[in-house]
Amino acid sequence: MLNYIIKRTLWMIPLLIGISLISFFIMHLAPGDITNNEASFNPKTSAESRQKLRELYNLDKPVIVQYGLWLKRMVKLDFGNSFASHRKPVFWQTTDKDGNVTKGMIQEALPITIIINVIGLIITLVLAIPLGIIAARKHMRWQDKSITLFNFIGFSVPGFWLSLMLMYWLGVANDWFPISGIRSLNHDSLSTFGQLKDTLSHFFMPVIIPSVTGLASITLFVKSGMLDVLHQDYITTARAKGLNEHKVVYTHALRNALLPLITIVGLSIPGLIGGSVISEQIFAIPGMGKLFYSAVMARDFPVVMGILTIGSALTLIGNLIADIAYAWADPRVRRGVIKG
Amino acid sequence: MNKNLLFKALNNPLSKAGFIIIVVVFLLAMLAPLIAPYDPDDINVKVILIAPTWQHWMGTDGLGRDVLSRMLFGGRISLLVGLVAVGISTVIGIILGAIAGYYRGWVDTVIMRLVDVMLSIPSFFLILAVIAFLTPSIINVMIVIGLTSWMGVTRLVRAEFLSLSGREFVLASRALGAKDARLIFTHLLPNSLTPIIVSSVLGVAGAVLMESGLSFLGLGVQAPQASWGNILTDGKDYIQFAWWLSLYPGLAILITVLGYNLLGEGLRDALDPRSNLK
Amino acid sequence: MKYFAFLNKQLTNRNAKASSIFLLIFLVTACGQQTQQISTQSLSKTYPTQPGGTLIDAMLGEPSGLISMIAGESASSAISSNIFNKLLKYDKNLDLTGELAESWHVSTDQKTITFKLKPNLKWADGKPLTSADVLWTWHAVIDDKTGSPYASDFQLVRSAQAPDALTFSVTYSEAYAPALDSWAGLQVLPKHLLENQDLHTTAFARKPVGSSYYQLDSWNTGENIKLSRNPSSVLGQVNIDHLVSRMIPDTSAQFLELMAGNLDSMSLDPTQFSRIVPARPKLNKTLNLYKELGNSYTYMGFNLKHKPFDDVRVRKAINYAINKQEIIDGVYLGLGINIASPYKPGTRWSNPDLQPYPYDPAKARALLKEAGFIANSNGILERDGKPLSFEIITNQNKEREKSAVLIQRRLKDVGIDVKIRAIEWASFISRFIKTGDFDVVVLGWSLGLDPDQYNIWHSSQQGGDKFNFIGYHNATVDKLLEQGRVELNPDKRQKIYHEFAKVLLEDSPVIYLSAGYGLSAIHKRVKGIIDPIPAAGVGFESEKWFIPEPLRRNEMNAN
């Protein structure tokens, strides 16, 4: 098992290099760099200053040289500094000689995206597991069919459209939830409970929308897993032994049906991070998606590269953890019946 | 496609509904020039942002164009983007998957590592970056969605090939001296077609949603060409006022994607031997 | 809630129960925020001026830093202009007046300007603000290492001195008319905090110390920037205690926040301004709407290096063929005006004798015929077998896209085939504008208050990153622009620019489509806004605005 983990971890290095190479060349595929932003299209600004900026950031060098420079820094885990945001460090905070701490851009953005996605995932699971069980137990009956239809509608609805509709309905027409941002302006002066409530109410819409749209696949997964398990010999045996039906379903069947879910959750990480772009843009949430979108639009190359690298690394780690967790949870693998 | 499979899938009312939805949506889009009440590009600044009336069933947009007509013509673009994007990804997926699954060895390793790399990059980030850097247009949107979503098909085809190549009929024809190409095209590929079709149907649903999301960010099909995504985007600033500009295209996307998803899942169910267990 | 009760019945499993309880807690705690409602009657009462309160607005993007000579973007200067002062400013009628400077004097050879600072100026940290700070700021802006995009105006200064604490003088190699305007744009920075710092990395950019009405209170990345009143402001005390700028990147979300009463001011688009707000009683009662003519216009520009746009008859014909009133009505819902010179109408630089090209398709056809174009079998005009067909490119701006669509239709009427492409900004500039790889653009210029437009129209400003990307070359215009730059007498300057605008109109290198009004909504709780709007704009003297206590937000009283 340990060997396996080490091998998998080492595999991540060439994969990450491959990812960074693809990302870097895509980024430099088309013309346009940091000096082409809308602010610089002002007749009061001079062409010379733009050229100087380009030289400063090595943008005048061939792409392969720029990649070499980037890789050289990355070996030291130095993600560099943003072009567009007053040279803020891309990844982690730095302290200057006067003791001023400048937070890293990803350092600030990543936790927000992760928290929202984790809450979203928990809600999805909390809803999807019971729905999946009901659908499996009432297979082909009206409960199953209405759950399926409901899920499919959630799965097919354009998330940003639903977001706007909900924003209008819950935020403007009715004054129930805040529309954008992650906390109120007076957040700091609230009590601890007040702060919690404030944060949760801001997270409500951004969290509920991906949960609804993500519900279908997990429900379907639980349902088919349950159907699968419910027809297996040991369940039939358990029933034949006269065990309570609830006990059969919830202790024997459910555990086995949920096992593969670990993998699904691990594999869904890139989708969750990627899906945050539009939602964070609409709800004004300062997470990875919004950061990425503005970095792409501003051609802020170090930030784009940093996010792609971190996002990919997280995906790889997520997959690895999912595999390990699966192996650990599956008694057959643990006992060495199946090779990990 | 396997006819039995389709029939089996259509036994399920949900997939039947999906099939009907898709047929109707395609008919409407194809017949757009015949049934659209107005020219979709016909501007009339005297009737800007008119709510639905008998003259304009779905109201008018910011330049007084008839929304119903733009929806019908825009549907052609949205459906086309979905189909072509998935076509591209399926072709790439089949080729790479077939090569990997048939020849194995180091080719297989290289291709599968490439799949790993592509799957590890958050795909929407990748698509966003590529489209922004390539300048958005219908063609680019289709190509980029295609180029970033072939990995599933590759894995599928490879797995099918690996399992099929151990079967007797393949071993037999190989023993009889069949050439690689013949083996691939007459035996392996036709037998792995069904799962590919299922995954493609579901892929179209994803591509249609992707196009609308890109259009929302201003990176999809560009104005003045109509697509459901950009009609919706035009209307988003006035969602509380000109609701018809956001409601109808949103519903159109929802219904179409729903159709594809219902049909795709129905096909998958029908294909799945477990569904016979009940 | 019924739904969850139903679920609970179904689940006997303890874990599932626990997790649905978690969900319930989430839903319950998340529900129900209350905001206090202010009666609409109290909004329309009059109140005496009183200090306090918070004004909340929104911005689309985050400033990169608050040293605006480096940052360059409008989000940065919007914030930093509340923190820093300039030597000069524009008054109500757009004439220059002193801000940090008490007076200024231009030498008889027009090459030296001497500024006298007001006495006893102080930075927010209590240190004195002197001419040494101004001198240091000038050194910083022209420094190559700073790489300020605005350096060029200040690099024309041959020498600068600060002979005593209150005197600052600059000498130019030759008279430079836009000089005073440039000093009304440069924010003076504190030398004692920035000396020996790298301006590109200094923490000062996110923790500035200024001298103006406000100082930075907090900056929550990606969320908001809060400013609070600077008690030692050199310009006296401001009424409103706090300014909060929230970062909301999506315009629809911004408007929803405005509707929900969570923003006090926002700039609107024509549809929001003339259709949505007036149609909703609730908004009508809480928002005041303002429209003002800005220093900006939308134009259609030809690539003069491409045929047939080198032919003035073709340019004029296209000008006659476009119905500008239709664009103003259709795109701006009437909230724009037709212009004939690249200056804000009503200002002294705008030539009142010039008339815009009328909509006259017959004349357009005649001119095109004269230029040798004959309709082919498809109804498209042709010359020497080449059809008159081109692509209009524009950036992703709704108004510009719509204008292009209307132009396309009108040009089709006279037999010109037009395609349209809207391109995301960075690609638009780098791939098409910089390389000169385009036929026709629809774009806009937002200009300063000085009439100098050398960078846009002078023939030396072509190529690379420069702004005469349409390739305009006219010897008369070149000469007028050169004269205008060295003439400091306003009356003589006015004549020069009136003549310049006349030649430009006759030559038609661009077609002026419209000057749209700047539209904004401000909550009625904000009082003291000058009405009618002065030439300097609705935001003029916003330091005198105030929010009467009964109208303040509940939540903000906690601060």
Chain C partners of A281 at a C-beta cutoff of 8 Å?
Answer: 249-250
Q: How many domains does chain C have?
A: 3
* Cβ pair B76, B31 in contact under 8 A: no
Q: So what's the pLDDT on residue A40?
A: 65
* Cβ pair A278, B216 in contact under 8 A: yes
pLDDT at C18 over 70: no
Of C271, C401, C431, nearest to B135 by CB-CB distance is C431
C552 C-beta neighbours (distance < 10 Å), count: 17
Q: So what's the pLDDT on residue A310?
A: 85
Q: So what's the pLDDT on residue C144?
A: 82
Q: So what's the pLDDT on residue C34?
A: 45
CB contact under 8 A, A29 and B134: yes
Average pLDDT on C188-195 reads: 92
Q: How many CB pairs under 8 A join A and B?
A: 146
Please, how many CA atoms are within 13 Å of residue B60, restricted to the half-sphere of its CB?
Answer: 23
State whether C115 and C141 are in the same domain: yes
State whether C387 and C491 are in the same domain: yes
Q: Which residue of C398, C437, C514 to mutate against B (max B Cβ within 10 Å)? A: C398
Domain contains C43: no
Q: So what's the pLDDT on residue C556?
A: 46
Q: So what's the pLDDT on residue C10?
A: 37
Q: So what's the pLDDT on residue A335?
A: 54
pLDDT band at C4 (very low <50, low <70, confident <90, very high): very low
Q: Which residue of B109, B133, B201, B251 to mutate against A (max A Cβ within 10 Å)? A: B133
State whether C457 and C308 are in the same domain: yes
Average pLDDT on C243-271 reads: 89
Domain contains C166: yes
Category of C241 on φ-ψ map: left (φ > 0), alpha (ψ -120 to 50) or beta: alpha
| CATH of residue B43 | 1.10.3720.10
Average pLDDT on A121-143 reads: 85
pLDDT at C158 over 90: yes
Average pLDDT on C506-518 reads: 93
DSSP for C421-448, please give it. Answer: EEE-HHHIIIIIITTT--SEEEEEEE--
- Here the tokens at position C191 are 């030398």
Of B118, B120, B258, nearest to A316 by CB-CB distance is B120
pLDDT band at C25 (very low <50, low <70, confident <90, very high): low
Average pLDDT on C110-136 reads: 93
A22 CB near a chain B CB, below 8 Å? yes
* Cβ pair C77, C68 in contact under 8 A: yes
Domain encompassing residue B271: 3-276
Greater pLDDT, B120 or C35: B120
Give the nearest chain B residue to C419 (CA atoms).
Answer: B224
| CATH of residue C553 | 3.40.190
Chain B partners of C326 at a C-beta cutoff of 8 Å?
Answer: 45
Tell me the pLDDT of chain C averaged across its residues.
Answer: 86
pLDDT at A124 over 80: yes
A220 CB near a chain B CB, below 8 Å? yes
Greater pLDDT, C41 or C276: C276
What per-residue string of b and e applies to C393-417 under the rule 16 or more CB within 10 Å gives b? Answer: bbbbbbbbbbbbbbbbbbbeebbbb
| CATH of residue C321 | 3.10.105.10
Which of C194, C224, C251 corresponds to the end of one domain?
C194
State whether C163 and C230 are in the same domain: no
Q: How many domains does chain B have?
A: 1
State whether C300 and C389 are in the same domain: yes
Q: Which of A175-179, B95-99, C280-284, C461-465 has the highest mean pLDDT?
A: B95-99
A316 CB near a chain B CB, below 8 Å? yes
d(CA C553, CA C558): 10
C452 CB near a chain B CB, below 8 Å? no
Greater pLDDT, C197 or C137: C137
- pTM of whole model > 0.90? no
Domain contains C231: yes
CB contact under 8 A, B135 and C401: no
pLDDT band at A330 (very low <50, low <70, confident <90, very high): low
What per-residue string of b and e applies to C350-365 under the rule 16 or more CB within 10 Å gives b? Answer: bbeeeebbebebebbb
Average pLDDT on A180-193 reads: 81
Chain A partners of B135 at a C-beta cutoff of 8 Å?
Answer: 30
B239 CB near a chain C CB, below 8 Å? yes
- Among C350, C363, C353, C351, smallest CA distance to C319 is for C363
Q: List the pLDDT tens digit at each of the 278 positions of chain B.
A: 456 667 777 777 778 889 999 999 999 999 989 988 988 888 888 888 888 888 888 888 888 889 999 999 999 998 999 999 999 999 999 999 989 988 888 999 899 888 888 887 777 777 877 777 676 778 888 888 898 889 989 998 998 888 887 777 777 877 777 777 777 777 788 878 888 888 888 899 989 988 888 888 877 777 678 888 888 888 887 777 788 888 899 999 999 999 998 888 888 877 765 544 43
SS3 of chain C: helix, strand, coil, percent, to 5: 35, 20, 45
pLDDT band at C172 (very low <50, low <70, confident <90, very high): very high
C255 CB near a chain B CB, below 8 Å? yes
Average pLDDT on A254-283 reads: 78
Greater pLDDT, B275 or A171: A171
State whether C112 and C60 are in the same domain: no
d(CA A45, CA A280): 32
Q: What are the helix (H) ranges across A268-300?
A: 269-283, 288-298
State whether C391 and C489 are in the same domain: yes
Chains linked to B by 3 or more Cβ pairs within 8 Å: A, C
State whether C417 and C464 are in the same domain: yes
Chains linked to C by 3 or more Cβ pairs within 8 Å: A, B
pLDDT at C254 over 60: yes
Of B128, B129, B258, nearest to A152 by CB-CB distance is B258
Q: Which residue of B14, B117, B243, B277 to mutate against A (max A Cβ within 10 Å)? A: B117
* Cβ pair B208, B260 in contact under 8 A: yes
Domain contains C103: yes
Chain B partners of C423 at a C-beta cutoff of 8 Å?
Answer: 135-136, 222
pLDDT band at C480 (very low <50, low <70, confident <90, very high): very high
Q: So what's the pLDDT on residue C557?
A: 39
Q: So what's the pLDDT on residue C164?
A: 92
The sign of the dihedral angle between the CA atoms of C416, C419, C425, C429 is negative
Chain C partners of A31 at a C-beta cutoff of 8 Å?
Answer: 427, 430-431, 434-435
Domain contains C199: no
Q: So what's the pLDDT on residue A199?
A: 85
CB contact under 8 A, C330 and B234: no
State whether C365 and C493 are in the same domain: yes
State whether C189 and C235 are in the same domain: no
Q: So what's the pLDDT on residue A36?
A: 66
Q: So what's the pLDDT on residue A264?
A: 76
State whether C430 and C550 are in the same domain: no
Domain encompassing residue C441: 296-516
Give residues with Cβ within 8 angstroms of C212, minimum separation 6: C81, C82, C83, C84, C85, C230, C233, C234, C235
Q: What is the pLDDT of residues C315-342, one digit of tens each?
A: 999 999 999 999 999 899 999 999 999 9
pLDDT band at C89 (very low <50, low <70, confident <90, very high): very high
CB contact under 8 A, B258 and A315: no
* Cβ pair C286, C523 in contact under 8 A: yes
Domain contains C237: yes
State whether C319 and C377 are in the same domain: yes
**Chain C closest-CA separation from residue B269 CA (Å):** 26
Give the nearest chain B residue to A313 (CA atoms).
Answer: B120
Average pLDDT on C482-494 reads: 90
| CATH of residue C109 | 3.90.76.10
